[in-house]
Amino acid sequence: KAGVTQTPRYLIKTRGQQVTLSCSPISGHRSVSWYQQTPGQGLQFLFEYFSETQRNKGNFPGRFSGRQFSNSRSEMNVSTLELGDSALYLCASSLGPPSGANVLTFGAGSRLTVL
């Protein structure tokens, strides 16, 4: 079956713009999580959605937001982009609410460059 699909794979924006990233989870998976990967900070948790509800949120400013649709697809939005937002944004899905034994499956990521 198809894996986690993220679009776009690469994009370039300028400071002050906003961006929307999309994630289609594995069919049947109802939980979607988002992570930011940067060289200096590694992978950092952004937020997690299950059945259209945000269940958990990381320590990111309010410029970072997300949502999940009834078909479990998810989007994240970053407004008023800053240079430091340049990163690989990773989406991961799981069948049910994520737990230690319920492993996340990651997509290939969306590489955002802010100029």
* Under rule CB under 8 A, residue 90 binds other proteins: yes
Confirm if 24 and 36 have CB atoms less than 8 A apart. Answer: no
- The residues with which 35 forms a beta bridge, in sequence order, are 45, 90
Rounded CA-CA distance 72/93 in Å is 9
**Least Å from the CB of residue 107 to other proteins:** 5
- Considering only residues 96-115, where is the footprint of other proteins by CB under 8 A? 97-101, 103-109
* Under rule CB under 8 A, residue 33 binds other proteins: yes
Confirm if 98 and 91 have CB atoms less than 8 A apart. Answer: no
* Under rule CB under 8 A, residue 11 binds other proteins: no
Show the site string, 60-89: x = touches other proteins by CB under 8 A, - = not: ------------------------------
Confirm if 42 and 58 have CB atoms less than 8 A apart. Answer: no
Rounded to the nearest 10 degrees, how much is the dihedral formed by the CA atoms of 104, 27, 96, 73?
Answer: 80
Out of 20, 22, 44, 79, the residue judged to bind other proteins by CB under 8 A? 44
**Least Å from the CB of residue 15 to other proteins:** 26
